[in-house]
RNA sequence: GCUGAAGUGGUGGAAUUGGUAGACACGUUGGACUUAAAAUCCAAUGCCUAUUUUUGGCGUGCGGGUUCAAGUCCCGCCUUCAGUACCA
């Protein structure tokens, strides 16, 4: 009689594992389809019901595609390097590898219970040496590459060396460091080896540079821009300061333009949401304008600025430098020195956060120095101000107060001139920044021109005098790639004579050495400085010899790679995960190409998604892969939030007041475990609460109607809020199929929504009904009778809707469609085999276990997973209504579609009754009018 | 401020993309079956207003507009969420 979901689910999960039902083939005639989830970091807390949401969605799609005859790659793995395991190691001394292993095991158990169709034979873990061997290998390829702007792609460094030794660097159009002096071929050839290496480092796609980095003292490491949120670290919320350090960097800026173009102008535009595309566009931050050089009046130096408005150059009345600008100390006059130093000190003290929070206060100091206007040669006073950011552009601006509100405010505040260079515009109240309405005046050769013309002319004139040129500026910075951590990929790098050297491919992987403790060394080196034995050093290898004492003769790179290293290319490893000779074979890469559907959270928009596009483009340039975008289509699932339960303690007492009785009394809110609460927000058992935590042991309660009603708060699901719902419990109580259906039923995939266990019964009883429809007692029972027209109509209605829903990722409405379908079949008393066969396949992506069970009971030996998806046949829907020809005024003819039971004359009367409609019809000659009783519904012209 | 998304019953959310608004589910109420509970089944459920066999009216954040017809399209606001921020 009853639906024993636990038995059924165990049985089929075992069957799928034993038969490798979901193993993807690398050689087959079938078309490929690659469905990927963002792989999880295996945290110690395990999965809660929010985590599988995206996996369920991707699983539905993967199963659907499999039914459609595609060779589906649907893998899963773990992003297993990361901070929490390391911090746990610092606290407890337990090796992060052990923590990680334990967590992965737990994750796997939890995932297995939900019945995913993952191909686990391709599992990857970023912390596995067999995996990070290739992360290191890619790093080496980046080191051995430079970006050639002429061919617009990355090339091997040897092509650059060839050019250098033949003709020097003057003809080289590369993305490189800014401060490169020109040299001839002869000079190059006379350079010492070290000088040559130093020079090449300025061109390599990964390079060492002393840069100002975001240093997080509490975490003891540097962070990338996208790892900082609101001025504090994304993980842990620790303060971040600016600091100069020598670090590995990734020259992602070389790809800025292609990363931007790839979003839109690819032949196949990325099917991503507009919001993610927009976030990436903003992050790359392309702006076009000009760089302008201002010579200094009393120094042999110049200041370079970037501006988007070269047309307003005659409106310049001062310049502003960032307080950190390198020229500040040099140009400040003795008179102004004290004031300037004071200002610099004050701004340095203000944290990034303060500076961001306080954007309205105008502050700045005059340096006493003057620059010279490039055209008028008039003196231009140089100020410093913290509204100019050192990290954007050149850290200096030419201030045009009449055309930029910030410059305007600054000028007003300090009483600086505000010359007006716009025709017919009043600037007495605010700056005028409308480019489209701009007519330049008061500007010598630019007079009377609009924005476009004036910009072009200004750049031309600047070029003539050698004081400027057109320039495109990007906000995107090169990405710092070093972390002072233990639990990450070691660099395949050692230093000889102070210069970085790559370790030979054949010695990869460079394994993470054992250390006594996971903190920085006493001398301030990263944790790897504690290692005494690097097991990967081979005595045979002359380059990285290992002495008998276990010390390498050359210093090794002690930093590790950041979290995003391993996740920037994992999608390719799945294609050929066991390969020991390559990161994936050419054939596998050529067959699978890229990810057709990627599902994950939108929080990775500026990090992972940008970095993996960068690495993909690089690997493409170097000919290792055949695509230059990793993810064709992406869906960003929303988060499932928890519903915390609040109890209210009267301040200073041990009395807890039910929610409705608080009134105006002062109370403290405390969160209690959601499992103590029933569906109507009452505490189920007050004694259980007393036992839950010691602080409630002798609590007293003020009840309303004998119940304690709690407050509710929707927030992130987290252990600390006691609002975590565990998927294992749900599977145990209702089954995996119910969990899968319910997570989809909860609402649109992309939306954030709170979990509410109470509603799950509706979905669960649907499965019970479905089961009962084909069972008489415990006996499976289907009829071989021909299905009726009604039966077929119900089935095909469902097929149509479900196919549409899956293709639009509206999985929530499909669940409703299934419910309606089963309710109708119950009403029709239909347990026909001819209906169940297609229906089971239809349901199987959503509720695969019950579908397999019913399928096998129908007498099929093979898994339902490879059955063709049922096809929709319109004729079953059309036959339920009829079209009647009608004529008006003896002239016009059109069709009426209406319910079968409506008599023709009544229908005609209905149409006639609508006078306005008749008028409408006379003008248009519609072909078809769809009618429902009493009302015209649709005129199809 | 800018960018993006969204505002529909007590709740989650549907609405074939301009065609009977509120599907489906939760919750609530009533009923059936039970010694009882659970489970299951049946009925009602947007709001207001009538009524004894038959009601009218109002309703998709607010104000306008287009249309025979607007949750859906257009214009102007308001609110919420997310991203981003002195980007020159």
Nucleotide nearest to A804 (CA to C1'): B16
Question: What is the predicted ipTM?
Answer: 0.92
Question: Which nucleotides of strand B lie within 7 A of protein CB?
Answer: 3-5, 12-15, 19-20, 23-28, 39-41, 68, 81-88
Confidence band for A352, pLDDT divided at 50, 70 and 90? low
Nearest Cα to A400, choosing from A476, A319, A334? A319
Contact (Cβ atoms closer than 8 angstroms) between residue A212 and residue A244: yes
Calculate the angstrom distance between C1' of B84 and CA of A397.
22
Residue A880 has pLDDT above 50, yes or no: no
The model's pLDDT over A512-566, given as tens digits with 9 standing for 90+, comes to 888 888 888 777 778 888 877 665 554 334 444 444 444 556 788 889 999 899 9
Calculate the angstrom distance between C1' of B20 and CA of A933.
9
What lies within 8 Å, CB to CB, of A208 at 6+ separation is A201, A246, A247, A248, A249, A500
Under DSSP, the state recorded for A543 is S
Calculate the angstrom distance between C1' of B6 and CA of A644.
24
Mean pLDDT of A213-228: 74
Helices in A382-426 by DSSP H: which ranges? 405-414
Q: Count of residues for chain A?
A: 941
Mean pLDDT of A909-920: 47
Confidence band for A622, pLDDT divided at 50, 70 and 90? very high
Residue A740: the pLDDT is 95
Count of CB atoms situated within 10 Å of the CB of A668: 13
Q: Which of A10-19, A664-673, A759-768, A850-859 has the lowest mean pLDDT?
A: A664-673
As a whole number, the mean pLDDT across chain A is: 85
Confidence band for A351, pLDDT divided at 50, 70 and 90? low
Contact (Cβ atoms closer than 8 angstroms) between residue A26 and residue A873: no
Residue A243: the pLDDT is 75
Mean pLDDT of A673-681: 79
Nucleotide nearest to A360 (CA to C1'): B86
The model's pLDDT over A334-343, given as tens digits with 9 standing for 90+, comes to 999 999 999 8
Distance CA A671, CA A715 (A): 12
Calculate the angstrom distance between C1' of B88 and CA of A444.
23
Mean pLDDT of A735-763: 91
- Residue whose CA is minimally distant from B2 C1': A282
Q: DSSP for A833-900, please give it.
A: HHHHHHHHHHHTTTSHHHHHHHHHHTT--S-GGGSPPPPP-THHHHTTEEEEEEEETTTEEEEEEEET
- Residue whose CA is minimally distant from B19 C1': A937
Calculate the angstrom distance between C1' of B88 and CA of A313.
13
The model's pLDDT over A386-428, given as tens digits with 9 standing for 90+, comes to 888 887 888 899 999 998 888 998 998 899 989 999 888 888 8
- Residue whose CA is minimally distant from B82 C1': A275
Nucleotide nearest to A899 (CA to C1'): B20
Nearest Cα to A641, choosing from A716, A558, A724? A716
Contact (Cβ atoms closer than 8 angstroms) between residue A845 and residue A854: no
Residue A177: the pLDDT is 87
The model's pLDDT over A223-257, given as tens digits with 9 standing for 90+, comes to 777 677 766 777 777 777 777 788 899 999 999 99
| Residues linked to residue A36 through DSSP beta bridges, in sequence order | A598
Q: Which of A700-709, A784-793, A880-889 has the lowest mean pLDDT?
A: A880-889
Strands annotated E in A454-611: 468-473, 479-480, 493-496, 499-502, 595-600
Residue A415 buriedness (CB in 10 A; 0-12 / 13-18 / 19+): exposed
Nucleotide nearest to A275 (CA to C1'): B4
pTM: 0.89
The model's pLDDT over A587-599, given as tens digits with 9 standing for 90+, comes to 999 999 999 999 9
Nucleotide nearest to A926 (CA to C1'): B68
Q: Which of A4-18, A348-362, A926-940 has the lowest mean pLDDT?
A: A926-940
Nucleotide nearest to A934 (CA to C1'): B20
Calculate the angstrom distance between C1' of B68 and CA of A882.
24
- Residue whose CA is minimally distant from B41 C1': A769
Calculate the angstrom distance between C1' of B58 and CA of A934.
21
How many percent of chain A have pLDDT more than 70?
88
Calculate the angstrom distance between C1' of B31 and CA of A761.
21
Nucleotide nearest to A750 (CA to C1'): B5
**Range of A489-498, A527-536, A540-549, A684-693 with top mean pLDDT:** A489-498
Calculate the angstrom distance between C1' of B31 and CA of A749.
38
Residue A924 has pLDDT above 50, yes or no: no
Residue A920: the pLDDT is 45
């Amino acid at each position: 009689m009853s639906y024993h979901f636990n038995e059924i689910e165990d049985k089929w999960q075992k069957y799928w594992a034993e038969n490798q039902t979901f193993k993807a083939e690398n050689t087959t005639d079938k078309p490929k389809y690659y469905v990927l989830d963002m792989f999880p970091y295996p945290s110690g807390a395990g999965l809660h019901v929010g985590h599988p949401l995206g996996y369920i969605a991707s699983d539905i799609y993967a199963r659907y595609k499999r039914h459609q005859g595609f060779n589906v790659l649907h893998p899963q793995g773990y992003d297993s390097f990361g901070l929490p395991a390391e911090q746990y190691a610092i606290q407890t001394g337990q090796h992060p590898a052990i923590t990680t292993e334990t967590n992965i095991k737990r994750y796997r158990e939890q995932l297995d219970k939900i019945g995913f169709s993952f191909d686990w034979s391709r599992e990857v873990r970023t912390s596995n040496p067999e995996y990070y061997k290739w992360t290191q290998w890619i790093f080496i390829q980046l080191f051995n590459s430079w970006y050639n702007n002429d061919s617009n792609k990355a090339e091997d460094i040897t092509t650059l060396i060839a050019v250098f030794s033949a003709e020097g660097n003057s003809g080289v159009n590369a993305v490189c460091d800014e401060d490169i002096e020109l040299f001839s071929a002869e000079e190059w050839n006379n350079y010492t080896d070290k000088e040559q290496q130093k020079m090449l480092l300025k061109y390599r796609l990964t390079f060492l540079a002393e840069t100002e980095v975001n240093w997080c003292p509490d975490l003891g490491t540097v962070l990338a821009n996208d790892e900082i949120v609101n001025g504090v670290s994304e993980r842990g919320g620790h303060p971040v300061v600016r600091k100069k350090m020598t670090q590995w960097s990734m020259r992602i800026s070389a790809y800025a333009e292609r990363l931007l173009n790839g979003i839109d102008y690819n032949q196949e535009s990325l099917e991503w949401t507009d919001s993610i595309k927009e976030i990436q566009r903003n992050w790359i931050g392309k702006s076009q304008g000009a760089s302008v050089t201002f010579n200094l009046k009393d120094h042999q130096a110049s200041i370079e600025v970037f501006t988007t408005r070269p047309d307003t150059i005659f409106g310049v009345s001062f310049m502003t430098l960032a307080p950190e600008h390198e020229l500040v100390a040099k140009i400040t006059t003795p008179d102004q020195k004290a004031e300037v130093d004071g200002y610099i000190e004050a701004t340095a003290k203000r944290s990034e956060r303060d500076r961001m929070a306080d954007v309205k206060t105008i502050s700045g100091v005059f340096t006493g120095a003057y620059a010279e206007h490039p055209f008028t040669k008039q003196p231009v006073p140089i100020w410093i101000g913290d509204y100019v950011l050192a990290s954007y552009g050149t850290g200096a601006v030419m201030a045009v107060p009449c055309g930029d509100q910030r410059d305007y405010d600054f000028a007003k505040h300090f009483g600086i001139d505000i010359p007006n260079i716009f025709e017919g515009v009043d600037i007495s109240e605010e700056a005028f920044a409308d480019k489209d309405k701009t007519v330049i005046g008061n500007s010598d050769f630019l007079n009377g021109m609009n924005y476009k013309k004036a910009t072009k002319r200004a750049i031309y004139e600047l070029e003539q005098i050698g004081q400027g040129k057109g320039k495109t500026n990007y906000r995107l910075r090169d990405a710092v790639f070093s972390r002072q951590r233990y639990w990450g990929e070691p660099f395949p790098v050692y230093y000889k004579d102070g210069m970085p050297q790559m370790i030979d491919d054949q010695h990869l992987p460079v394994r993470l050495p054992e250390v006594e403790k996971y903190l920085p060394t006493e001398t301030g080196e990263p944790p790897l400085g504690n290692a005494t034995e690097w097991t990967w050093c081979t005595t045979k290898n002359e380059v990285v010899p290992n002495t008998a004492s276990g010390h390498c003769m050359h210093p090794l790179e002690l930093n590790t790679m950041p979290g995003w290293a391993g996740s920037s290319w994992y999608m390719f490893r799945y294609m050929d995960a066991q390969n020991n000779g390559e990161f994936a074979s050419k054939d596998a890469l050529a067959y699978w190409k890229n990810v057709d559907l990627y599902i994950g959270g939108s929080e990775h928009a500026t990090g992972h998604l940008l970095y993996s596009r960068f690495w993909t483009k690089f690997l493409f340039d170097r000919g290792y892969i055949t695509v230059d975008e990793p993810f064709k289509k992406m869906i960003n699932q929303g988060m499932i939030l928890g519903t915390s339960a609040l109890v209210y303690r009267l301040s200073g007492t041990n009395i807890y007041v039910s929610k409705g009785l608080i009134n105006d009394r002062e109370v403290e809110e405390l969160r209690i475990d959601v499992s103590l609460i029933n569906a109507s927000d009452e505490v189920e058992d007050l004694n259980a609460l007393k036992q839950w935590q010691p602080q409630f042991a002798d609590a007293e309660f003020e009840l309303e109607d004998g119940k304690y009603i709690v407050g509710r708060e929707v927030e992130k699901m987290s252990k600390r809020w006691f609002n975590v719902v565990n998927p294992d419990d749900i599977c145990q109580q209702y089954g995996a199929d119910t969990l899968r259906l319910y997570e989809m039923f909860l609402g649109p995939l992309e939306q954030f929504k709170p979990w509410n266990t109470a509603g799950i019964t509706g979905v669960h009883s649907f499965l019970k009904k479905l089961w009962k429809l084909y069972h008489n007692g415990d006996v499976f029972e289907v009829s071989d009778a021909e299905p009726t027209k009604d039966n077929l109509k119900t089935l095909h209605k469902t097929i149509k809707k479900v196919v549409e829903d899956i293709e639009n990722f509206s999985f929530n409405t499909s669940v409703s469609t299934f419910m309606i379908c089963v309710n109708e079949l119950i009403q029709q008393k239909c347990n026909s085999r001819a209906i169940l066969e297609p229906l089971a396949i239809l349901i199987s992506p959503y509720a695969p276990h019950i579908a397999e069970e019913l399928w096998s009971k129908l007498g099929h030996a093979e898994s339902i997973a490879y059955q063709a998806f049922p096809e929709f046949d319109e004729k079953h829907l059309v036959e339920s209504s009829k079209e009647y020809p009608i004529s008006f005024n003896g002239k016009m003819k059109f069709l009426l579609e209406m319910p079968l039971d409506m008599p023709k004359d009544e229908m005609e009367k209905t149409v006639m009754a609508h006078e306005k409609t008749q008028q409408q019809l006379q003008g248009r000659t519609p072909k078809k009018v769809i009618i429902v009783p009493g009302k015209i519904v649709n005129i199809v012209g």
